[in-house]
Every structure is written in structure tokens, then in C-alpha cells.
Structure 1
Amino acid sequence: MLIAHTPRLCLRRFCPEDLDPLALILSDPEVMYFSRTRQPLSRAEAADLIHHQSRPNHPHGLYAVTAQASGELLGYCGLIHQQIDGHTEIEIGYRLGRSHWGQGFATEAACAVRDHAARLGIPRVISLIEAANERSRRVAEKVGMQWQREIVIDAIVVQVYGMDLVQEGTRG
């Protein structure tokens, strides 16, 4: 199921054929460095992620990010429920294979997900980013988010970037 497309990308639900390329991406220690576990994921864990995220009729979740031209899986981007200070927030999360860093794909995918969130009527989105993760901070800023505060989640200090969405589209 297609979620969104951009000039270079398609965002869609995961399918079983995504397992090998996703497992390869998530097994890279550098790709997983800023994850909560700081550990690469196993093939079984990648399979669990695909199974969990490919549920039909669920508007939120992580979406496969593929190249329009080749269909290659580049990583994922999507909407994640987060509990912050007793409130549910919707996070735009993204993770791409290292060979796709620095080409604007994360920003392009995150903008598509931001616009998807606005179409769903979600009033606000955030991203939770460690201070040392400069690449992700730049993506959040390019999407239109601004730094709001610092919090601790699972003993990790993260910065909250956020923005309000409007129903006709987005600001930023």
C-alpha cells in the first residue's frame, strides 16, 4: 500500500521481500549507533519489525522508503507513538542505510511523512534526537521542526524537536 511518493522516493507498507535489505541495513553498527539499544539488529529482529509494521488498516507506523527509479529499499521513515511527560506525541522517525546518507533522502522522506500526518489530521509532530546526532538534527530542522527542550528517555538524553501542523498542509 502506497503511503506517499516524492520525486525520488516511494513510501509504502513493508512487505516480506523487504526482509533481506532491511536486515542488512539494521545489522550495520553505524546505522544503529543512535538507536535506543545502540546495537545492530538480527535478521529475526528485522523480521519482527516488518511483521509489526505491515499491519493493514493502521495509519501510523514505519514505512518502507524505496527509490522510485529502482525500487531499492533505502530504509524506513514513519510515525511512532511516544509517551512524553504523560502525553502521547507522534514522532517522525527515520533510519536509512549508510550508503544513502548525505543525499537528502531522509529529509525528502520525513517531509512526505510530515505531510501524510497533516492529511491524517495529526495536529503536531516531533522528533527525538540525541545532541550528538547532527545529521538527524539537520533533517528535523529542514522538515520545519524547532528545538523545544531536552528530556531523558530510557536513560538517554534526547532533544525534542517539534512543530504544529495545519490541516491544509504544513508550515515550514
Structure 2
Amino acid sequence: MILETQRLYLREMTQRDFGALSRILQDEETMYAYNGAFNNEETQEWLDRQIARYRKYGFGLWAVVLKETDEMIGQCGLTMQPWNGQEVLEIGYLLQRAYWHQGYATEAAKACREYAFTKLDADEVCSIIRDTNTASQKVALRNGMCVRDSSVKHYRGVDMPHHRYVIER
């Protein structure tokens, strides 16, 4: 276990989490900000990328597990992301649709913010969010972040405006 909150714990994902991860990444509605659901190969690449991040940085997107049921309901964690020619420390979160609007993303994101400041000694942390993703924008605001700047990412053949929400220690 990496982090624990009142209702959740966060841990590294393993290959055993492929099924739970697929329920997130292969759901069209959940993945609208990514311009569509992933297939099995893309889901495996995503999982492999997180495992590689754990080895390289000691962090990545972690499994979000509901304490009450021990079910993986999403992922949340810290990643290094490119932003306007530099690498920034980002809090990312993505939950199964059945667990939206219950405060889980905010609870996990706040724990990751504290981890970044206390364990990684980060001066700032951000969340990079597509301009149409109002739910994730609200989580960033509840996590104490403010819009710092904007940029366009080209992903899956589409230009997607994104805002970078930032909080400093």
C-alpha cells in the first residue's frame, strides 16, 4: 500500500489488475476525454507504462481500491508529463463510471497532493485536464488548484485544448 484515506487505499497496479483496468479504459463514456475507449493492446500498454514508471520514478498511477470491498475502482497517482517543453509532476485520476460523483477522485487526488509535497518534496504539482472535462476540473479545484496556463495536445489524431491546474506547496 502506498497511500490510505478514509475510504480508499492506493497501491501499485500489477498484471492481475488488467480486468479492472479494462473496465475503466475500455468504457466509451469514461474515456471521452481521451477521444474514445482503448482496446486490449492499448490497455496493456497503459498498464506496462505504469509498471515502468514505478521502477523509474518510484511512483505512477496507482490502483484506487475501495476498502469496504477490496475492489479496484479506479486509478490515481503521480506521473511526469510533458508540458510546453518541460516535464511537470501531475496528479492524474480516472475512475470507473459507477463510482463517479461520490468524492472518491477528490479523496484520492488530495492524498496524492500531500504525498507529492511530503514524500517527494515537490514545490508544485498540477493536473492537466482537457477543456471539455468539467468533472475533472472540479476535482482539481477541490484539490486547491487554479488554472495556470493552457495548451493544445495532439492525441489520437485530434487537437485537444488542455488547462494546467497548479497548486504550490
Partners of 1:82 and 1:131 in 2: CA distance: 17
Aligned-CA RMSD value: 1.4
How far has the Cα of 1:40 moved from its partner?
0.7
Secondary structure (helix, strand or coil) at the match of 1:54 reads helix
Partners of 1:23 and 1:43 in 2: CA distance: 7
Determine the structure 2 residue equivalent to 1:137. Answer: 137
Determine the structure 2 residue equivalent to 1:32. Answer: 31
TM-score by length of 1: 0.88
- Of 28, 43, 48, the match for 2:45: 48
Q: 1:158 is aligned with what amino acid?
A: H
Partners of 2:89 and 2:13 in 1: CA distance: 20
Q: 1:31 is aligned with what amino acid?
A: T
Determine the structure 2 residue equivalent to 1:79. Answer: 78
Higher deviation after alignment, 61-70 or 151-160: 151-160
Q: 1:46 is aligned with what amino acid?
A: T
Secondary structure (helix, strand or coil) at the match of 1:107 reads helix
Deviations 1:25-79 (A, max 9, x none): 21100111002xx121122322222233124543231101010111111110111
Which structure 1 residue ranges, 5 or more long, are not aligned?
166-172
TM-score by length of 2: 0.90
Which structure 2 residue ranges, 5 or more long, are not aligned?
none
Q: 2:22 is aligned with what amino acid?
A: A
Q: Is the 2:10–2:62 Cα contact (8 Å) retained in structure 1?
A: yes
How far has the Cα of 1:16 moved from its partner?
2.1
Partners of 1:141 and 1:3 in 2: CA distance: 24
Determine the structure 2 residue equivalent to 1:109. Answer: 108
Q: Is the 1:92–1:113 Cα contact (8 Å) retained in structure 2?
A: yes
- Whether 1:164 aligns to 2:161 is no
Deviations 1:117-144 (A, max 9, x none): 1121121111111222111111001111
Greater fraction helix: 2
Determine the structure 1 residue equivalent to 2:123. Answer: 123
**Within 5 Å, which residues of 2 pair with 1:56-67?**
56-57=54-55, 58-67=57-66
